[in-house]
Amino acid sequence: MKDYSILLYYHYTPIEDPEAFREEHHLLCLKLNLLGRIIVAAEGLNGTISGLREDCEAYMATVKADPRFAGIDFKVDESDKHAFTKLHVRYKPEIVHSSLRHVKPIEKTGVHLSPAEFKQLKDQEDVVLLDVRSDYEHLVGKFKNAITLDIENFRDFPEKVEELAHLKDKKVITYCTGGVKCEKASAFLLEKGFQNVYQLHGGIIKYGLEEGGEDFEGKCYVFDNRLTVDVNKVNPKVISTCYICQEPSDRMVNCANPTCNIHVPMCEKCGHEMEGACSDTCKTDPEKRPYDGTGYYQKETNGYNPFKGLYRKTVQN
């Protein structure tokens, strides 16, 4: 067993004062030395964090002790170290950025399928698997025979639903990394007249942890410094090619030029030769970031203050 844990989770539940909750939750994370990204909104909580195993266990116990989050589902992976370098706990209008603010998954959403149920249904003749993630995510990994969408962000999903109208008589199973996007995607499909809509509960990550990831081809893109993780322990397959040399590669990088910053597969050899850049133009850009061999770059904080609210809480106590 490794010393660190990486948690992926979300929960749709009403939070009456999300900004106050953000401050309280942030203080909890500081106390437990956790790093990662957490979004708090009036509609719920969404996060991916890392920390020492015992600190993550304390975090999960504390969150579940709150009646609002009693049903939260944590996907837990092991690690030798932190998967993040900073802690961000932010208040936002939604826990996943979409064009579907009117959609309320706690009122209506697609039928949740456990990983075992998903495995049984996925290959049936009248079933369609729908990947609701962004193009750079399914480029490096997706389920065998799944339908993918040409979208840069999940907020573009509603515009693509008309293209799926011919599938209304099918059983449509949506899937994403951890499940949070599917809650709104499946609800929107129901709103648009799809009758039999399901979602893989816990997403790709939970399916890999519980069922071995069979028929997930490639790797799963994740939003931490690992960039991709293995999912399939049964019949793994590389489906992506290096952006530079076109040789098979499932090693993802963000272009070292921050103005570009595209997410593409790039083999180690080309990564070294291109210094993490996706083109000669990006390689010679004066703003190019130093390449450390990983292709992961910490996002700018944009003025985010990790200790916001700390002084006020200290004074009140």
H/E run at residue 117: helix 115-121
Contact of 237 with 245, CB cutoff 8 Å: no
- Write out the two tokens for 106: 């706690």
Contact of 56 with 34, CB cutoff 8 Å: yes
Using alpha carbons, select from 115, 127, 205 the residue that is nearest to residue 170: 127
Give the number of other CB atoms < 10 A from CB of residue 297.
18
Active site positions, annotated: 176
- Rounded Cα gap, residues 310 and 89, in angstroms: 13
- Which residue type does 247 have? E
- Rounded Cα gap, residues 202 and 199, in angstroms: 9
- Strands, E assignment, the chain: 4-12, 35-41, 44-52, 75-79, 87-91, 111-113, 127-131, 141-143, 171-175, 196-200, 216-218, 220-221, 228-229, 252-254, 263-265
Q: Which residues pair with 241 in a beta bridge?
A: 248
- Which residue type does 219 have? K
- Which residue type does 135 have? D
Helix ranges, 123-211 (H): 135-140, 157-160, 180-191, 203-211
